[in-house]
Copies of this chain bind each other. A is one copy, B any other.
Amino acid sequence: MTEHTGLLVAIFIAFAAAKLGGELGARFGGVALVGEIAAGAIIGPHVLGWIHEDPILVGLSELGVIVLLFAVGLETEFSALRRVGLRGGIVGTVGIVLPFIAGAGLMWMTGHTTPQALFVGTALVATSVGITARVLGDLGLIGEKESLIILAAAVVDDVLGLLVLAAVTSLGSGALDVASIAILVAETIVFFGVLLTVGRIGIRRHGTKVRYLRLPHGALSAALVLCLGLGALAGIIGLAAIVGAFMAGLLVAELSDELELKRDLEPIRAFLVPFFFVMTGARFDFAALLEPSALALGVAMTILAIVTKLIGCGLAMYGTSLAAAVRVGVGMVPRGEVGLVVASLGLAAGIINAPLYGAVLMMVAVTTLVAPVLLGPAFRFRAGAQAA
């Protein structure tokens, strides 16, 4: 077997296992994501050992998460944020403060380091826009007013979460000196500021000109160049590459329908993103989690993740009905891709260790699984009373 064949065999095993796991996940729990991660855990080095940290699998996994965050950005529209306005912003903002404090606090209280506390806090922050949107859509609830608030708030906490991640990433890698913090904050502000002003206006005015490209799939190609370019740029200035990819998606979101970007990105996403989830699972060390203290940490983290979003986002709905508060609170519970990315980055940087990684994965899996189960009842709760 030549080297090239070995490479292709590894790609085949990872992809086929992800899709099989995804299908089983979709069939028996409703969430393909969890099945893909479980498949990775089973074929990974800690159990069967069929796949390892091959450069090509790591590369495809990186590319997968870049594409995933680009797609999340693409699904995010400024106008949607405006429609539910202030309330979504408040829910999103409050919804990240409580989980961050609770997560970081739990780490500090259990004797972990400050970088570990910051990473775990960050991993608890972001509600998954992707999972939330899919669950609400599957349940036929996407038109409800609370659904719009949930989606807007999820977007706000994604953006804030990525900002927190950008700060935590560079803090975690160096000493906590004031100068480097100041430089990073300045860089972050300039990066976001330039993109959201000059970048946004430029793309609004000239973006549709990609139609004049003679290249087949010119619009998609240009969007992917922007995605990879901003990802690389974000990486170079010390932010996470996914922050750049998300911003690229956000910038071209308004042109998405016109240029059929979302439709064209879907197949690429279906091909590449599973590599990220499989590799996420492959790094999952069951043995590390079975240690009583790690398991206890995972359970505590999961409970905090659920309770802080329920209370934080519920309270942020103050002034509306209890029913609305319950719906929004439950809708904000599922974490997903961003939490996993934070954990993976922390693991790669040597800050997060195997038991912590396992605990975060447990938190993501449970919060993701409870969403489809609880959202239906939450929307039926007092629905009659309200209508009466």
CB within 8 Å of B: which residues of A?
A: 1-2, 4-5, 7-9, 11-12, 15-16, 19, 22-23, 26-27, 32, 55-56, 59-60, 62-63, 66, 213-218, 220-222, 224-225, 228-229, 231-232, 235-236, 241, 264-268, 270-271, 348
Contact = CB atoms under 8 A, between A and B. Distances in A.
Given A1-B235, A8-B66, A12-B231, 7 more contacts: A8-B232, A11-B59, A19-B225, A23-B218, A55-B55, A59-B60, A221-B270
A26 B228 contact: no
Given A11-B63, A63-B11, A267-B267, A19 B215 contact: yes
A215 B56 CA distance: 25
Contacts of A5: 232, 235-236, 241
A228 B4 contact: no
Q: Per DSSP, are chain A's interface residues mostly helix, strand or loop, or mixed?
A: helix
A221 B217 CA distance: 21
A209 to B, nearest CB: 13
Contacts of A229: 12, 16
Nearest to A6: B235
A217 B270 contact: yes
Contacts of A271: 220, 224, 268
Contact of A15 (B1, B15, B26, B225): B225
Contact of A7 (B22, B62, B221, B266): B62
14 contacts: A1-B235, A2-B235, A8-B66, A8-B228, A9-B235, A11-B59, A12-B225, A12-B232, A15-B225, A16-B228, A26-B215, A32-B214, A217-B266, A264-B267
A156 to B, nearest CB: 26
A8 B231 contact: yes
A267 B15 CA distance: 18
Contacts of A348: 4
A268 B220 CA distance: 10
A267 B268 CA distance: 6
Contacts of A220: 267, 270-271
A70 to B, nearest CB: 12
A59 B270 contact: no
B23 A215 contact: yes
A268 B236 CA distance: 27
